[in-house]
Every structure is written in structure tokens, then in C-alpha cells.
Structure 1
Amino acid sequence: MNAPAGTPTPTRAAILVVDDEPRSVEVIARVLGEDFEVHTALNAAAALAILETEWIQAIFCDQRMPERSGVDLLTEVRARWPDIVRIIVTGYTDTDDMIGAINEAGIHQFITKPWHPDQLLLAAQGAARLYQLQRDYDRLSLELKLAAPTAQARVVERREKVRENFHFDALIRSPGSALNEVCRRAAQVATFDIPVLILGETGTGKELLSRAIHYSSLRGERPFFAVNCGAIPDELLESELFGHKKGSFTGAHTNRIGLLDQADGGTVLLDEIGDVSPAFQVKLLRFLQEGEIRPVGSNDVKRVNVRVLAATHADLSAAVKAGRFREDLYYRLAALTLTMPPLRERRGDLRALAQHLLDRLSTTHGKRVKGFTEEALGCIETYDWPGNVRELQNEVTRMLVLAGTDQLGADLLSPHVVHGAAAASAKVMPLEAAIRNAGPLKDRIERMEALILMETLVRCRWNKSRAAEELGLSRVGLRAKLERYGIARDAAFGRSH
């Protein structure tokens, strides 16, 4: 269903999953179902029927299907519904086949089997975002044609809004946050046209920081592109960055302008730079040294003016010492190094960050709530969040979807979050560690008992009658154990009396 530009789209993005294996369809639908409206089809004909009636923003399609291949189907989709973002899921990794598919069907992304759930979610989120950006572009183009002066003013206003959304102030943090010093140094270097290497665990906001650097620089009016280098094979990464000439390899039916050329005057973020191969490191170093690009299959060299930012979760200095990453490339990328702190080092930011995510997700999903209970916020502040902001966002989404009241309580948190928070609050080791850890049996049992008591009370919203019944204790017995271990609601999760 291809609606004209400017027509309102559904609040919840719709994804179509096409695969001839019912089990595969079921699993992918389950992974995406919490965040998206998922439609499924077991063959190309069923998929086309859905596309005729439903507003689909992205399509995940298996490549090998008995009647029509994924490339054949997506080629027709491209012709009839060009706005739909097309993603292939395949176990077939022949490079020529993949490059041909990109050109024939306009594939946005390849996902190879076996895939990870986070990989699917990130691909779906990126596709929904790209779809919306395409719609915004179409709408702006129409406005420019109908009323050029007014539309131009709106473009300027939108550009300023983008700059505001990606400014350093948009990185949610508290006055005493560990992120403040990172943002201060990033703001200092933003206006200096030098490469910056951003380090940090996955999900800490490295791309957000790089966008803030770009939009705070003199290049802020020019394009910004982010490329996940670790997710693309060398051949495709070279084409993505440098472009290619028609006929330079199998499937290259048209010329392609690389992102470095498209970003001329702007900024390119090379995300997960630590994952690129030694062979591609050489090509990238040559570009950084000379400032010149040569599309694949071409003898023509073009000079471009691009600021390169790089990001990685890996320890690049260790990779240099181990011989996995070129030392000269490392120093080319790391004129200045910034390290994004993980959420476990930003506990003071967690209340504001969780509320910010909740406000945004409430608008996205059309479900308004007031906020979190104190117990929920206590758990959120105490848990370590190994998956950082992405894990926190998934948890807030889950709580919002499951909520039956206008406040999100600790009982809506995932068991492992409550478990980790309770262990930290009760100053005992996690249950599994307590079982494995050496020590007197009595001490180990007491640590486990204290943890179980804390978890049960949180799940029961500190209703001691319910907790006692669940644990098979009398209220008097429960009270005695709480006094013995010093467990009190006012002291839970680090809150003051």
C-alpha cells in the first residue's frame, strides 16, 4: 500500500517477514513483535497480497524460496513500492550474488544466518528510521515545489531542530555525570578539523556523541553518514565507501557514488573500526593520507574533503600490540581519543535517562504513563546494565507494554534485572556466584536467603503477607528474617531512611 507523501503513517512501524519456513517466520516475528507490528508470509504471492492492503515500512525476506527468490520478490517490491526498506536474510554468502542483489533489488542490508536477535532488532529499527527519513524527504520536496520560500524556511527550521536534537545537551546526563567531562572535551575538539576515535562498550552512545561533534562543527550544514564496518564484507565496504563503476564486478549494473564522495564537506563515522580486515586497513590508510578516493573499477581519482570519526568497542591499542591493527592507521584515527562511560559508571544519570526513554517510547507507542515507582527507579539505579542504553531501552519498552496502570512498578522489570539489583542492594553476590563461591555452608546459605527475600518482596511490591505466603512463612517468621538481615523497604536499593 503505497500512500502519497505527506499522508500520516501508523505510530507503530509495520514489518513484513517472508520465509518459506514457518519456524523461521515465527522466531523472527517473536523477536520483532515487542517493538513492531509484524506481518508474515510463507511465499512471494502471500507477501504481495499483504503489500497491496497493509502499510509496510520494511520487509525481511529470505533469499532462497522455492517459487521466487528473495531478490526476485524484492526487485518487484522496489518497482511497485520504492519507499519500503528491503532487507535480505540469507545463509548464502557468495559475494557476487550479494552485490548483484544490492543492485537489482536495492537491498538496504544483508543479514546472514545464523543471526542474533539484537542484530534483527537493530536492523528493523534502522529500517523504520530510514523509511521515516525518506517520507520526510518526500514531504519536504513537495513543500519546496508548492511554496518554495515557505518550504525553504521549514527546511532551515528542521535543520536547526536536527542540530538541537544531536547537540551535546541532547546526551541525557546529571550535573555530576561521568559523561560531562567527555562532552566537554568533545565540544572543545568539535570545531577543530581533526579525526577523533571514540571508545566504549556497545550501547554507550558512541554514534550520538559523533553526531554531536559533527553538528557542533563547521561542517554541521553538510552531510553526516555512519557506516558499521564490522557488519559489511570487505568487497561491499569498499563499494559502500569509495563507490564503483558500472561493470566493475558481477552485478554492478550502474555506477555507485560512495559515501565518502556523498559526504564531501561533511563527516563520516566509521563504526566498529576495530573489526575491519588488515587488507582494508591499507585502503583506508591510503585515503586518510591522500584524501583521495578511487571507485572500484575506475582509474579516475577524486579528492574529497571529509572529516573521519571512528568508533569501536575493542581495545585498539591492544590490537596494535598484537599485530591485528596497523599502528600507522591507529595514529591517523586517534588524534584525540574519547571514551564513553558505561551505565554502571553513570548511576546518577539513570533516573533522567529512564524517564527520557519512557517519554519518547510513550509517544512512539501511543501509551501514556506518568513514570516509574520509587522501587522501580531503585532497581534501575542499582542494576549494572551490561547492555548499556540499548538494554535499558528494551527494558523500559517491556515495562511500558506490560503496564496496566499509569506508573511502572518494579514488578514489571525482567527477573534478571531485579535479581542483579537485589544482589547489589543486599550486598550479597548473585545467586549463581553464591552457589559456586567457596566459604562456610552457613554463610553461603544466608547470602542466598537474603537475596531471595529481597527479590520476593520487590516482586510482591513489599506486600509482606503475599511474600510470606509465597515463601511458605508466617508474617512473624518473615519479619524475624528481615530484621536478622537488616532488610527494610526504606533501605532497599540504596535509598536513605
Structure 2
Amino acid sequence: MSRPRVLLVDDEPLSLETLARILDEEFDVRTATNPFDAERILEEDWIQVVISDQRMPEMTGVELLARVRDRWPDMARIIISGYTEAEDIIDGINRAGIHQYITKPWHPDNLLLIVRNACRLVELQRENALLALEMKMTGQSLEQRVAKQRERLKRNFNLDAIVRSPESPINQVCDQIAQIAPYDIPVLLTGESGTGKELLARALHYNSPRADKPFVAENTGAMPDQLLESELFGHEKGAFTGAVNARVGLFEQADGGTIFLDEIGEVSTSFQVKLLRVLQEQEVRPIGSNRRRKVNVRVVAATNRDLEQEIREGRFREDLYYRLAGVRVHLPPLRERPMDIWPIAEHILAEAVRDFAKPVEGFTQEALDCMARYSWPGNVRELQNEIQRVLVLAPGHQLTADLLDPRILRADDADVPFAEPNRAEALPADGTLKDRVEALEARILRETLIRHQWNKTQAADELGLSRVGLRSKLERYGLIPN
């Protein structure tokens, strides 16, 4: 990094040499013995600080620095003088806009500190000027950035970008979302946790006329009423203990756009009344305020509960339900669409590889088959968690089946279109004791072999079998590596 450049002007060579020797270790020093040489140097070099003696034969230091101020106003200007007349000081400040008036005799450390501060001031002024120029240009620039980001979001949450197989039941869901997105009607998304309700809510927003306005989301489950009211409707300063600042609620933040209320079935019946009033009146009143504020939002709610059953049991208001459920859209769980497991798994892996910066070639076929057999009660969220865990633990460049959690390896083979057919089927609900025991034995054998990467010696040792005995059972149950 280049050193700050300082110009010293003094008609006495000894004083000039003394000043230069002190400043030379820290600054790039230029010297001039008269004002005319000084101006020539200023025309040729970019100087941050000019230090001039006051008493010189051609012109005073104040006169020189006044000329510098007119031509190079960004430079810091310092006067050194053995005279301390008040008139000189005032004249220097008014005419030359000097940064500092140093009186002789001066102390070297004090001189260094003054010049350092002057250089820093010039640098800050320069940065400020650049920022001011940048701010003038950012209006259009920011609009362009926002527009690009908005287009990127629209692409990311395009319905065609939702990962699924060609024959997936989600195709029907996406068609339904595409049909209702243009119309300003509330939507209730139902389905188990982890099925992707928030993803679908965002797709609904970014495919609607409100796409250029905000999308905000709030998980309303297990949140105390006062905190939830503050989050959604806002509060005034001092409205309750801990309200040290006013807060704008999410309904106001989403004005013109969409608000997503997840786990709506978990809110208390008392808060349901407040939410119903907001939806009916289309206005919010922050906690501690007497003023109501109009809001224009589209509400998309989601729940994993059966709200109609909740209504029958008195835990959910029927009038609020009909305010939320303008259109109901149900997301089937992952176990009802096993054909989606492979494409979703590959998509999740690609994202995890990028996030964790750990490149791998992908899953082995056996690993994919094992994942396809499993029912995934936690749906996509559980699948994502498992893939990230396997990626982190993987010692090689492929994700093999033995890395999967044992509960996945113990999964049933029945009715799985992607698995190779074999006789290690689900434990039958009926049949003879012999049939049930054999089904369970086949599942244990298969899980153990996968964990040991089909090493029969290790599997036989764990199960307490001889290699001959293990081979006989494998032939009996038709267990072969995929």
C-alpha cells in the first residue's frame, strides 16, 4: 500500500531538512523552497497534505494555502509559524481553510500525530465523496438489482421448478396452484409436516399478481398469544415489558403482498378471534396503539391438523376456517409418492454438496433403492436431514447404502417400484408363526448385509452363523446384492 504524500514548503533549507527527516519514515515527502516550486509539484503529483511555513519572501504561507484551497480544495493545509498573532491565525482559518496551525518550536511526536490525522481526514473526505457519488448512481442500480433478484426468485419458485417425477401426484397440486394463483383468494394448505407447504406458498405468491410485493412467513405454532400478536400486528414502544422500541407487524410488512401463516391449527381460540377481526376488517391495531392501520394482504395458511375435526371438537373457530380456506390444497406425504424420492434426493444432494463444499459422485443404486423402500414419516425434511448426515460421514466419493440409518435399511420391500424384487417382504400381519419368523429373519439378514457392504464373513460373524449357514439362508430368501 502506497504511503500518504506530503509536501513541505519552507524557504529555509535547514528547517525543510529537519521536517523531512522526521516525516520521511512514515510519509512520501516532497519539498519546495518557494511557493512557485510548490505549485509546480502540486500540478504534477497527488498530494494529501501541504505543510507551509508562514514567513516566506515571495508570499506568506496563508497566501500560498489560499491559492491551494482554490485549485486543490481536497488537500489538508497546515501552517507552521514562530509567530502566534491572533490575526494571523484567524486569517489562516478564514482565507486558507487551514487544518492546523502549528507554532514553533514544535515537538516531533506532536507533528507526526497532526500529519497522520490530516492524512486520515483527507482519506475520509475522499471516501465520503465516492460514497456520495455512488449514492447518486444507486437509484437506478438498486432498482436493477431488485428487479434481477425478483426475477431470480420467480424462476426459483416457478411451479415447473418444484422437483418431482413426471408421474408424481404433485403435478396435480401444481396445476391447482397455477389455476388459483391469479385470483386474490385465501388458500389453506394441508398436509403432514415436512411435505413442502411453505415452498408451495412461495410458488403461489411468485406466480400471482402480487409477485412484486413482499412475501413474509410466520410459524404460529407454540407461540404465546402476546408474542404472536406483536409479531403479526406490531406494537408501540412501552406497550408491554420489554417493548423498548416500536415494531411494525408482519401484516404491515406484507402490505400489498402475501403473508404465510404456518401451523395455523396450533393458535389459541382467544387469538383466533383477533385474527378473524383482522381478516374481516383488513386492518391491524398494534399493541398499545389506538390507531388502526389498513392492510392489503393475501393470506396463505397451512396446517397438519384436520381443521374440520378441530371445529367439531371446539378447538377451532368455524368462521375463521372459512376465512382461511377460500381454496384448500392438500399435499400428499412422501410415502404416497415414492417416485419422487429419487429426484428429490438428487436435488437435495446437489444443494448439500454446494453448501458443504464436499464433492461426491452421487448415490449408489443400492442406496437409492433403500431410500425408496422407506416410508419417510418426516417427509422431505427427514430426507434432507438424512442426506446431509450421510454426505458428512461419507469416506469416499459415493454415498453407499451402509451409511444410511439402520431404520431405513430395515424398511419394507413391498410395493416399491424401484427396488429389485426379492422375498424379503414386509412382516405379514397374518399367517403362520413360521411365515412371520421367516419374513423377519429375511429383513434382519438383508439389513446386516447392507451395513457390512455385503461382506458375508462379517455378516455371519455378527449374526453368529457359519458362512455355509449364511449362504444357505441367502439362497432360501433370494437375497442378492442390488
Q: What TM-score does the superposition give when structure 2 sets the normalisation length? A: 0.68
Q: Which residue of 1 aligns with 2:349?
A: 358
Q: Which residue of 1 aligns with 2:53?
A: none
Cα RMSD (Å) of the superposition? 2.2
1:442 alignment partner, one of 434, 438, 454:
434
- After TM superposition, the structure 1 = structure 2 runs for residues 179-194 of structure 1, keeping only pairs within 5 Å, are 179-194=170-185
* 2:458 paired with 1:459: no
* 2:476 paired with 1:487: no
- 2:413, 2:426 within 8 Å by CA — same for their partners in 1? no
Q: Which residue of 2 aligns with 1:229?
A: 220
- 1:214, 1:224 within 8 Å by CA — same for their partners in 2? yes
In structure 2, relative to structure 1, the CA distance for the partners of 1:168 and 1:143 (3 Å cut) is: farther
In structure 2, relative to structure 1, the CA distance for the partners of 1:143 and 1:360 (3 Å cut) is: farther
Separation of aligned partners in 2, 1:253 and 1:362: 43
In structure 2, relative to structure 1, the CA distance for the partners of 1:476 and 1:368 (3 Å cut) is: same
- After TM superposition, the structure 1 = structure 2 runs for residues 95-114 of structure 1, keeping only pairs within 5 Å, are none
Which structure is higher in RCO with an 8 Å CA cutoff and minimum separation 6? Answer: 1
- 2:265, 2:316 within 8 Å by CA — same for their partners in 1? yes
Separation of aligned partners in 2, 1:144 and 1:379: 56
Separation of aligned partners in 2, 1:170 and 1:281: 35
Deviations 1:174-212 (A, max 9, x none): 100011101110111011000000001010000000000
Separation of aligned partners in 1, 2:387 and 2:218: 27
In structure 2, relative to structure 1, the CA distance for the partners of 1:151 and 1:298 (3 Å cut) is: closer
Separation of aligned partners in 1, 2:139 and 2:274: 43
Separation of aligned partners in 2, 1:322 and 1:215: 36
Separation of aligned partners in 1, 2:425 and 2:466: 24
Separation of aligned partners in 1, 2:165 and 2:273: 42
* 2:481 paired with 1:473: no
Separation of aligned partners in 1, 2:436 and 2:163: 40
Separation of aligned partners in 2, 1:238 and 1:216: 29
In structure 2, relative to structure 1, the CA distance for the partners of 1:461 and 1:408 (3 Å cut) is: same
Q: Which residue of 2 aligns with 1:270?
A: 261
Separation of aligned partners in 1, 2:391 and 2:191: 28
- 1:422, 1:451 within 8 Å by CA — same for their partners in 2? no
Structure 2: tracts of 5 or more residues without a match: 1-132
In structure 2, relative to structure 1, the CA distance for the partners of 1:168 and 1:145 (3 Å cut) is: farther
Deviations 1:89-126 (A, max 9, x none): xxxxxxxxxxxxxxxxxxxxxxxxxxxxxxxxxxxxxx
Separation of aligned partners in 2, 1:145 and 1:203: 46
How far off is 1:422 after superposition? 5.8
Q: What count of residue pairs does the alignment treat as equivalent?
A: 345
* 2:331 paired with 1:331: no
Deviations 1:363-396 (A, max 9, x none): 1111001100000000111100001111101100
Separation of aligned partners in 2, 1:373 and 1:466: 21
Greater Rg by CA? 2
In structure 2, relative to structure 1, the CA distance for the partners of 1:251 and 1:476 (3 Å cut) is: closer
Letter in 2 for 1:187: A
Deviations 1:48-73 (A, max 9, x none): xxxxxxxxxxxxxxxxxxxxxxxxxx
- 1:200, 1:339 within 8 Å by CA — same for their partners in 2? yes
* 2:397 paired with 1:397: no
**Equivalent position SS for 2:188:** strand
Q: Which residue of 2 aligns with 1:346?
A: 337
How far off is 1:428 after superposition? 4.0
Deviations 1:24-69 (A, max 9, x none): xxxxxxxxxxxxxxxxxxxxxxxxxxxxxxxxxxxxxxxxxxxxxx
Separation of aligned partners in 2, 1:448 and 1:327: 48
Q: Which residue of 1 aligns with 2:305?
A: 314
In structure 2, relative to structure 1, the CA distance for the partners of 1:375 and 1:143 (3 Å cut) is: farther
How far off is 1:147 after superposition? 4.5
**Equivalent position SS for 1:279:** helix
* 2:238 paired with 1:247: yes
How far off is 1:151 after superposition? 4.1
- 1:423, 1:451 within 8 Å by CA — same for their partners in 2? no
How far off is 1:420 after superposition? 1.8
Letter in 2 for 1:178: P
How far off is 1:306 after superposition? 0.5
Structure 1: tracts of 5 or more residues without a match: 1-141, 491-497
Deviations 1:278-337 (A, max 9, x none): 111111111111111111121211211100010001110100111111111111111110
In structure 2, relative to structure 1, the CA distance for the partners of 1:450 and 1:408 (3 Å cut) is: same
Letter in 2 for 1:410: A
* 2:174 paired with 1:174: no
- 1:144, 1:152 within 8 Å by CA — same for their partners in 2? no
1:219 alignment partner, one of 206, 210, 217:
210
- 2:345, 2:383 within 8 Å by CA — same for their partners in 1? yes
Separation of aligned partners in 2, 1:147 and 1:186: 37
Letter in 1 for 2:178: A
- Work out the percentage of aligned pairs sharing the same amino acid: 57
* 2:297 paired with 1:303: no
How far off is 1:489 after superposition? 2.8
Separation of aligned partners in 1, 2:441 and 2:386: 26
Letter in 2 for 1:391: E
2:377 alignment partner, one of 386, 398, 405:
386
Separation of aligned partners in 1, 2:158 and 2:324: 23
**Equivalent position SS for 1:300:** coil
How far off is 1:457 after superposition? 1.8
- 1:199, 1:338 within 8 Å by CA — same for their partners in 2? yes
Separation of aligned partners in 1, 2:351 and 2:200: 19
**Equivalent position SS for 2:411:** helix
- 2:412, 2:425 within 8 Å by CA — same for their partners in 1? no
Q: Which residue of 1 aligns with 2:365?
A: 374
Separation of aligned partners in 1, 2:412 and 2:395: 23
**Equivalent position SS for 1:330:** helix
Letter in 1 for 2:281: E
- 2:412, 2:426 within 8 Å by CA — same for their partners in 1? no
